[in-house]
Amino acid sequence: MLLRKIEQEKVFMNTIIRITLFSDKPTIYTQEKIQDAFGCFDQVVKKYTRFSPKSELSVLNNSGGKPMKVSAELFMLIEYMLELANQTNGSYDPTIIDLLETYGYDQKSNFESLGDPNLFNKIQKLIKIRPHFSTIKLDKNNLTIELAKRQRLDLGSVGKGYAIDLAYDLLEEFPSFMINAGGDIRVKGPKPDGGVWEIGLQRTQPPNKRVIGEELIGKIQITKGSLCGSGGWARKVKFFHHLLNPKTGMPINSISQTFTYAKTAMEADAWATILFTLGIKGLKLLEEQSISGLVVGNDGSISYTGDIFSKV
Amino acid sequence: MNLFLSKVYAQVDGVASPTIPFTPPGSITPTTAGPTTAVVGPSISLTSEETTLEVGMTSKIQVVIDTQLQPISQYSIQLLFSPEYLRIVDFDDSTDSIEIDFRDTFFDETINEVSQQQGIITLSAENPAGSSSITNRVIAEIEVEALKAGFAEVSIGRESTNLLTPGSEDILQTINTVEFVIGGDGQTEPTTVVPTTSNNPNVTILPSSEIPLPSRTPDTAITDNLRAPAALILGVFLISMGSYFIKLRNTDAIKKN
């Protein structure tokens, strides 16, 4: 059967989403399905952005101190993030918005506070008084979530991956496709000629190192699963980047970047962040989860777990 | 974009890259996997093995000039650092002034000055006898000591920095900055305080930052409050007056007798 290659891209989540798909179905039908898949990204942003006071997440974030009934979908996402926070003993923490905003990582994003001589002291004070993620109360039977006062959640580490998975489910009737959300990727099936999807791993500027041109660390070949990356120094502002150590409030600079390969994009997305917070010692935890991971050190050295990265 | 990189990226179906969160703040240019800041042209780079320091720790920063095969006859470099957070360790104790370690054996040093107060390092060098040469090496090393917990950087002051060709053309195109996160002396990871909850629905336990501060400091000494010494003086006065009247009454009684 002749399969037509259709490729489309749109901007959502401040990222270019590209869908490359081989279709055995009518063109108009395929185009509509691709548009529906793009819509998944739009829906996830509308429901779960913390920058709109009307989003379900914002309403929850403003309900501190009282239990609030949420949708089954949001409950599942928050339950998943808190499970990860427990598994990593708090090295991963979805409640660090207050810390990020102290650095200026808010809607205005002008980062004026980076020049504040008291910034370090403010961070240290906040660390001492902020509520611990373990105080969040989940009631699965009633689908209620109770945050402590002034405690807020952010889906930044799973939101994009989750949207990719929703789009994947919508397109699953097609035999072969790739969804690439600005570098977070999920593929289905080999290409029609039986070939693999070849994915390059982008190298970013390591911290405090000689200026280099960007290049590929290597390539991996996949026919299923999801590959995601994390690296604070890729888009930092002065000394700040968004991957903080929740226990100290400081940006994590011990490694340069991470990549993870998992069954779903939500898993790969979240674990790429977790691996960045844990560094090389996090590879053991990934092994226990049957997730592959690669860590690029500040000196360019590579450590990994899982066969998929063995040929990088 | 570098043509070589374009070719490399064209050879793959997709490029996985570190991404930003799904709803990043502010207006950020849409990102896509692929080269975004391919660097070309002569550069002055600062490099350091450390990114995190503790107060009292030292770190070495190397200054690298890469002229990308173009010959230069002289260069000037101005480095700016945070004097509140970093101290430049003097490479040469035998002189009164503070200097950094100049390592360029192909050029003669003309200025090597550090102003710790202003946070400025000035380094200039020229090729002997006016000749020119291609440079791709470490030309200086700076040792810094962390003075205070916080965030510090060492950057290049572009306006006072140049790589000059024999024709006095500045060919410098790329510079960078090194940043340090400085933790406290022997700082341990702080314990996160888990807020307690109250069984009494009428009582709200506020986080410590929400507890209202007293409107004035407690009276801990006589001098804290003038009413206290005034009351004391009044008391002494009344006792004295009482004693006086008792004495007066007794005197009157004696006289009557």
* CA dihedral for A8, A10, A15, A16, sign (positive or negative): positive
With beta carbons less than 8 A apart as the criterion, state whether A235 and A246 touch: no
Q: Average model confidence (pLDDT) for chain A?
A: 92
Q: What is the pLDDT of residue A62?
A: 95
CA distance A214 to B39: 8
Per-range mean pLDDT, top range of A159-173, B19-33, B198-212: A159-173
- Judge: B151–A15 Cβ closer than 8 Å, yes or no: no
Q: Which residues of A19-38 are buried (b: 16+ CB within 10 A; e: fewer)?
A: bbbbbeeeeeebeebbeebb
With beta carbons less than 8 A apart as the criterion, state whether A251 and A244 touch: yes
Q: Is residue A190 part of a domain?
A: no
| CATH number of the domain within which A160 lies | 3.10.520.10
- Judge: A180–B52 Cβ closer than 8 Å, yes or no: no
CA distance A257 to A297: 7
pTM above 0.80, yes or no: no
My answer on whether A225 and A292 are in the same domain is yes
- Integer angstrom CA distances of residue B48 from A239, B119, B215: 14, 18, 49
My answer on whether A175 and A214 are in the same domain is no
Chain B residues closer than 8 Å to A253 by CB: 51-52, 181
Q: What is the pLDDT of residue B206?
A: 33
Is beta strand B52-54 parallel, antiparallel or unpaired with respect to B178-183?
parallel
Nearest to B174 among A49, A105, A211 (CB): A211
Query: CA nearest B15: which of A308, A202, A224?
Result: A202
In angstroms, the separation between the Cα of residue A62 and the nearest Cα of chain B is 17
Q: Is the pLDDT of residue B196 over 70?
A: no
Average pLDDT over residues B62-83: 94
* CA dihedral for A311, B5, B11, B16, sign (positive or negative): positive
CA distance B73 to B68: 14
More confident residue, A43 or B11: A43
My answer on whether A39 and A176 are in the same domain is yes
Q: Is the pLDDT of residue B230 over 90?
A: no
Q: What is the pLDDT of residue B217?
A: 38
Q: Average model confidence (pLDDT) for chain B?
A: 76
Alpha helices in chain B (DSSP H): 3-10, 227-256
Chain B residues closer than 8 Å to A200 by CB: 8-9, 11-12, 14-16, 33
B86 φ/ψ angles, rounded to the nearest 5 degrees: -130, 145
Q: Is the pLDDT of residue B6 over 80?
A: no
My answer on whether A76 and A40 are in the same domain is no
Q: What is the pLDDT of residue B223?
A: 45
For A76, the 3-state DSSP assignment is helix
Average pLDDT over residues A77-87: 97
In angstroms, the separation between the Cα of residue A78 and the nearest Cα of chain B is 15
Q: What is the pLDDT of residue B212?
A: 35
Average pLDDT over residues B142-171: 94
My answer on whether A161 and A302 are in the same domain is no
Q: And the tokens for B229? A: 């010494």
| Banded model confidence at residue A249, pLDDT cuts 50, 70, 90 | very high
Report whether A116 belongs to an annotated binding site.
no
Amino acid at A245: N
My answer on whether A72 and A165 are in the same domain is no
For A201, the 3-state DSSP assignment is strand
Average pLDDT over residues A122-126: 93
Q: What is the pLDDT of residue B188?
A: 42
Q: What is the pLDDT of residue B219?
A: 41
Q: Is residue A141 part of a domain?
A: yes
Which residue do the tokens 């997305």 mark?
A269
| Banded model confidence at residue A94, pLDDT cuts 50, 70, 90 | very high
| Banded model confidence at residue A277, pLDDT cuts 50, 70, 90 | very high
The nearest alpha carbon in chain A to B207 belongs to: A129
Average pLDDT over residues B60-66: 94
Cβ atoms within 10 Å of A8's Cβ, excluding its own: 15
- Judge: B39–A135 Cβ closer than 8 Å, yes or no: no
Q: Is the pLDDT of residue B40 over 80?
A: no
The pLDDT > 90 percentage for chain B reads 41
Q: What is the pLDDT of residue A106?
A: 80
Report whether A292 belongs to an annotated binding site.
no
| Disruptive mutation site among B3, B17, B144, B191 for chain A (greatest number of A CBs within 10 Å) | B17
Q: Is the pLDDT of residue A89 over 90?
A: yes
| Disruptive mutation site among A121, A214, A223 for chain B (greatest number of B CBs within 10 Å) | A214
In angstroms, the separation between the Cα of residue B109 and the nearest Cα of chain A is 23
My answer on whether A31 and A118 are in the same domain is no
- Judge: B19–A15 Cβ closer than 8 Å, yes or no: yes
My answer on whether A20 and A91 are in the same domain is no
My answer on whether A72 and A178 are in the same domain is no
More confident residue, A116 or B10: A116
Q: What's the CA dihedral at A201, A195, A310, A204 to 10 degrees?
A: 0
Q: What is the pLDDT of residue B202?
A: 35
Q: Where are the domains of chain B?
A: 40-183
The nearest alpha carbon in chain B to A117 belongs to: B150
My answer on whether A5 and A131 are in the same domain is no
- Judge: B22–A108 Cβ closer than 8 Å, yes or no: no
The pLDDT > 90 percentage for chain A reads 76
For A223, the 3-state DSSP assignment is coil
Q: How many domains does chain A have?
A: 3
Nearest to A182 among B32, B183, B193 (CB): B32
Q: And the tokens for B117? A: 């107060």
Task: Dump pLDDT digits (tens) for A198-216.
Answer: 999 988 877 888 766 667 8
My answer on whether A35 and A79 are in the same domain is no
The nearest alpha carbon in chain B to A185 belongs to: B16
With beta carbons less than 8 A apart as the criterion, state whether B39 and A212 touch: yes
Q: Is the pLDDT of residue B224 over 50?
A: no
| Banded model confidence at residue B183, pLDDT cuts 50, 70, 90 | confident
In angstroms, the separation between the Cα of residue A107 and the nearest Cα of chain B is 5
Task: Dump pLDDT digits (tens) for B92-142.
Answer: 888 889 999 999 989 999 999 999 999 999 999 999 877 888 888 999 999
Q: And the tokens for B92? A: 């040469």
Q: Is residue A205 part of a domain?
A: yes
Q: Is residue A189 part of a domain?
A: no
- Integer angstrom CA distances of residue A120 from A283, B57, B151, B253: 31, 18, 7, 80
Nearest to B194 among A134, A199, A247 (CB): A134
Report whether A157 belongs to an annotated binding site.
yes
Chain A residues closer than 8 Å to B36 by CB: 214
Average pLDDT over residues A287-312: 93
Whole domain around residue A11: which residue ranges?
A: 1-50+155-184
B226 φ/ψ angles, rounded to the nearest 5 degrees: -70, -20
CA distance B87 to B56: 10
My answer on whether A201 and A281 are in the same domain is yes
- Judge: B15–A201 Cβ closer than 8 Å, yes or no: yes
What length is written for chain B? 257
Q: Which CATH number fits the domain B40-183, given the four candidates 3.30.56.10, 1.20.1740.10, 2.60.40.680, 3.40.50.720?
A: 2.60.40.680
Q: What is the pLDDT of residue A158?
A: 95
Alpha helices in A106-182 (DSSP H): 119-129, 159-171
* Three-state secondary structure string covering B80-131: EECCCCEEECCCCCCCCCCCCEECCCCCEEEEEEEECCCCEEEEEEECHHHC
What length is written for chain A? 312
Q: Is the pLDDT of residue A233 over 70?
A: no
- Judge: B22–A132 Cβ closer than 8 Å, yes or no: no
Cβ atoms within 10 Å of A235's Cβ, excluding its own: 16
Q: Is residue A55 part of a domain?
A: no
Find the range with the poorest average confidence among A142-156, B32-46, B151-165: B32-46
Residues 6+ apart with CB under 8 A from B162: B75, B76, B170, B172
- Judge: A216–B84 Cβ closer than 8 Å, yes or no: no
